[in-house]
Structures are given as C-alpha cells and as structure tokens.
Amino acid sequence: MMWSPTSWTQKPAAQQVSYGDPEALTRVIAEMSRLPPLVTSWEVENLRAGLARAARGEAFVLQGGDCAESFDDCRSDPIAAKLKILLQMSLVLVHGTKKPVIRIGRIAGQYAKPRSADNETRGGVTLPAYRGDLINRDAFTAEDRAPDPVLMLRAYERAALTLNFIRALVDGGFADLHHPEYWDVSFAEGSPYAAQYHQIVDSIRESLDFVSAITGVEAEVLRRVDIFTSHEALALPYEQATTRQVPRRPGWYNLSTHFPWIGMRTAQLDGAHVEFHRGINNPLGIKIGPGMTTDWLVGLLDALDPERKPGKITLIHRMGAGKLQQHLPPLVEAVRGTGRTVLWVCDPMHGNTETTPQGIKTRRFDNIVSELEQSFELHAQLGSHLGGVHVELTGENVTECIGGARGLSEVDLERAYKSRVDPRLNYEQALECAMRIAKHLRQR
C-alpha cells in the first residue's frame, strides 16, 4: 500500500473513538493542518542523531514527565517544576554515567491515554471511558465523556503554550543549577544512602563551581540545554493533522513532537498505528512489555525502520521488576540477530503498577529502582547496554508512589494523590531515583 498521512485509515485502528459528528472532526483536522508546527524538522533530526549516539553508548537518555498531562495543569508552576526536576535528574545522571544526557519530556502533547476497557460503569450507569483531555472529559456525565474533536485543537494549543514557556525558561537561564536550594537532599537524612547522596551533590556542585571559575560564566551546559518533547502517538487524527512536508528535506515529519512513541496496545503489525508511523521521519519509541514476542518485535523493526537509520528506533522495555530476567533476554538476542543497533531504554514504571487493598493504583519505589538496576546489569551481561530511562514524574510534592527516603506508605497515598491515571514519582522520589542510578553506575 502507498503510504500517505491518511493511509492509516485503511487499517484497523486500536484505541480510537468514534466522533458523533464526523464533519466537525474533518473541520478540526483541516484547521490544525494549517497551524504552524510545534517543532522543526532540524530539531527532529538533531534528536535522531543524539539517539544514534545513545544507541552506540556515547550518550544517555532521560525521558520523563506525566503519565497524562491535563489541561488544568497547563500552568506556569507545574511546568517549571517539571522542567526543574528533569534538569536536576539529568545533571545527576551526567555525573553517574559520565556521558552527555539527552533530555526528553513526556510533555507538550501527552494528552491521550490507552484504556483497557472502552466503557466505565458507576452505580449502574455505563459511559465511555475517560481517554485523556485530548479526547473527552473526566467528569462522569454523558456530555463530558462524549469524544469532542475540538479538544484536539485545545490540546494542540496547550502543547504550544507549554513548549513556548519551556523554551523561554531555558533561553532565559532557568537552567542555572548553581543555586544551593536546587541541591537540598535533606529529605534523605536517615536513609541508608544519605551520605552517598551528599557526596554526589557535593561533587556536582564542585564541578559546577569549577566550570564557572575557569570560564567566568555559568557552565555552558547549564545555560543552553535542549529539551525535546515526546508523547504517545495514540490519537491518529491528531498525529495526521500535524504531519507535513518541509522545504528542502524529503519525506514527512510529525511536527507536533520530536519523538512519538507507539504503545504495545497499538503496535499490531497490520494495524493503523504501525501504518502511520512507518511513513514519518521522526525517531520512534516502541514500548515493549512481557507480551512482546521476538517475531512481533522483528516485524516491527522491519516495518518501521526498513532503511536501518541510526537513531530511528528506541525500544522502551517495561517488564516489571519480577519479569525482566525472563522476558528481556530473548528480545535482546532477537534484535542482535537482525544486526541492527537500537537504543534500549528502561521504563521501570508501567510493569510495576499495583492496586492497594483500598483500590488505589500505586508503585513501589524499591521495585522501580530494582527494575532499573537489573536492567543495567542484564544488558551488560547480554553484551548490549541500557542507554536511557523513561519515568513518570512530577516536580510537585504528590504522594502517589510508595517508598523512597521519606518512607511514604499506603496511608500517605490519600494525602496528595493527584494523578488521574498512573502514579508518578514526586520531586524527591524522582531526584532520589536519579541518585540511585548514579550510585549504582559508579559502583560498577
């Protein structure tokens, strides 16, 4: 079949909704197609080159942000807080990996969610499931849950506002991490790792001071940082509307994000998402869980990257701390068998989700760190290597995941649980997670 931005409509598409008014959808797609893009093709190509370096072991990727962004949280404080924790984590990871770190937010477009059930029933009433602010609204009424195509436009606008603010902060020197308050790890007092965290912070501060002292200016790495965007490319009408050709570069780019990823629920070889993504030049992430088979994975690589372009494919594995040893090795061997170089990234969040007896979705910090540490070790044993981490976090003081130096427990979950979807690491847990990675890598 000839590829075009709409050829996906000829294939079965998982996780899509049907809009009550198809003409309204057509109007929204037409309007979005005329709006300026959020990112440029040269940024996309820069990222692909960076991911190729990470695949070769010369750089490390930090991808992080909300499970789902919400329209409500399109405000300056949460955005700045998320940027700050991403920058801090990345600095800790530079320290731990001794490699340049490529920062990618789950941000500026992460508005659509796959759901395991199409409908939700409460008190005998059944309505369509909430699928993210790009599709419908969270409130449990028929009107709110009806898919509304105008929300795609609203999502695109909020993505633009978010990215504009991030770019302004970064350009304006927000990334100046000299300030001591950036490096307060007092939350870790009493943790067995406290002394090591202090050492890591001291050594980061020394190297920052050293660079400023000899150059007389703030470290260039901190002044000019790149932040790339990513989201799960789930709602295909949205992705289609932002896919276009650019002057002087062949092919098509999805310019609503630098780095779209395909979830496993939509990775069917003969499905619409694979059809859509095989035609765009962006680097692609593919989430792989315990259900991924070697044939399926090799089929995806052949379909999505027939030319074997460096940096094109990132495989984001999310097996769960207890399943990694069983499920990862055959996939690594299968990829090796193809002779391809891919970038391996560990998502230690999605395989470690559990529900408390009170019915609250949570994740244990220890399982998250364990899956990460096992991933570094296992890749090394298999002769490949882990080139990045993918986490769900917020810069705020929420209580959604259990554990960490503060010892959050199930009781604490009631206090500040804000996520409408998956539980995120809070500010301290995210920083501590980076410290644990750094510590692990330095001890190896």
Give the binding site for ligand PEP (CB under 6 A): 67, 114, 232, 263-264, 287, 318, 350, 422
Contact assessment for residue 388 and residue 62, using Cβ atoms and an 8 Å cutoff? yes
Task: In angstroms, give the least distance from the CB of 294 to Co ion.
Answer: 25
Angle between helices 22-34 and 150-171 (to 10 degrees): 30
Q: Which is nearer to Co ion, 48 or 318 (CB)?
A: 318
Buried b (16+ CB within 10 A) or exposed e, 193-213: beebbbebbeebeeebeebee
Task: In angstroms, give the least distance from the CB of 356 to ligand PEP.
Answer: 19
Task: In angstroms, give the least distance from the CB of 53 to Co ion.
Answer: 27
What's 121's DSSP letter? E
Binding site for Co ion (CB under 5 A): 67, 422
Contact assessment for residue 443 and residue 382, using Cβ atoms and an 8 Å cutoff? no
Of 346, 351, 291, the closest CA to residue 320 belongs to 351
Contact assessment for residue 132 and residue 113, using Cβ atoms and an 8 Å cutoff? yes
415's CB contacts (< 8 A; 6+ apart) are 399
Q: Is 390 helix (H, G, I), strand (E, B) or coil?
A: strand
Cα distance between residue 298 and residue 268, in whole Å: 12
Q: Which is nearer to ligand PEP, 29 or 368 (CB)?
A: 368
Q: Which is nearer to ligand PEP, 40 or 419 (CB)?
A: 419
Task: In angstroms, give the least distance from the CB of 16 to Co ion.
Answer: 19
Q: Which is nearer to ligand PEP, 53 or 350 (CB)?
A: 350
What's 130's DSSP letter? P
Task: In angstroms, give the least distance from the CB of 341 to Co ion.
Answer: 28
Tell me the one-letter amino acid at 297: L
Task: In angstroms, give the least distance from the CB of 264 to ligand PEP.
Answer: 6
Q: Which is nearer to ligand PEP, 177 or 398 (CB)?
A: 398
Tell me the one-letter amino acid at 225: V
Beta bridge partners of 157: none
Q: Which is nearer to ligand PEP, 108 or 222 (CB)?
A: 108
Kindly list the distances between the CA atom of residue 200 and the CA atoms of 152, 204, 239, in Å, as whole numbers in the listed order: 43, 6, 41
287 binds, among Co ion, ligand PEP, none (CB under 5 to 8 A by kind): ligand PEP
114 binds, among Co ion, ligand PEP, none (CB under 5 to 8 A by kind): ligand PEP
Task: In angstroms, give the least distance from the CB of 289 to Co ion.
Answer: 12
424 binds, among Co ion, ligand PEP, none (CB under 5 to 8 A by kind): none
Of 433, 427, 408, the closest CA to residue 346 belongs to 433
How many other β-carbons are positioned within 10 Å of the β-carbon of residue 433?
A: 24
Kindly list the distances between the CA atom of residue 61 and the CA atoms of 39, 72, 400, in Å, as whole numbers in the listed order: 19, 28, 24
Q: Which is nearer to ligand PEP, 18 or 116 (CB)?
A: 116
Q: Is 313 helix (H, G, I), strand (E, B) or coil?
A: strand
Of 90, 230, 244, 236, the closest CA to residue 163 belongs to 230
231 binds, among ligand PEP, Co ion, none (CB under 5 to 8 A by kind): none
263 binds, among Co ion, ligand PEP, none (CB under 5 to 8 A by kind): ligand PEP
387 binds, among Co ion, ligand PEP, none (CB under 5 to 8 A by kind): none
Q: Which is nearer to ligand PEP, 350 or 379 (CB)?
A: 350
Q: How many Cα atoms are found within 13 Å in the side-chain-facing hemisphere of 11?
A: 24
Task: In angstroms, give the least distance from the CB of 106 to Co ion.
Answer: 9
C-beta nearest to ligand PEP: residue: 263
Of 45, 44, 64, the closest CA to residue 256 belongs to 44
Q: Which is nearer to ligand PEP, 258 or 287 (CB)?
A: 287
312 binds, among Co ion, ligand PEP, none (CB under 5 to 8 A by kind): none
Task: In angstroms, give the least distance from the CB of 353 to ligand PEP.
Answer: 8
Tell me the one-letter amino acid at 360: I
Task: In angstroms, give the least distance from the CB of 240 to Co ion.
Answer: 23
439 binds, among ligand PEP, Co ion, none (CB under 5 to 8 A by kind): none
Cα distance between residue 127 and residue 134, in whole Å: 17
79 binds, among Co ion, ligand PEP, none (CB under 5 to 8 A by kind): none
Q: Which is nearer to ligand PEP, 103 or 287 (CB)?
A: 287
Cα distance between residue 404 and residue 223, in whole Å: 31
239 binds, among ligand PEP, Co ion, none (CB under 5 to 8 A by kind): none
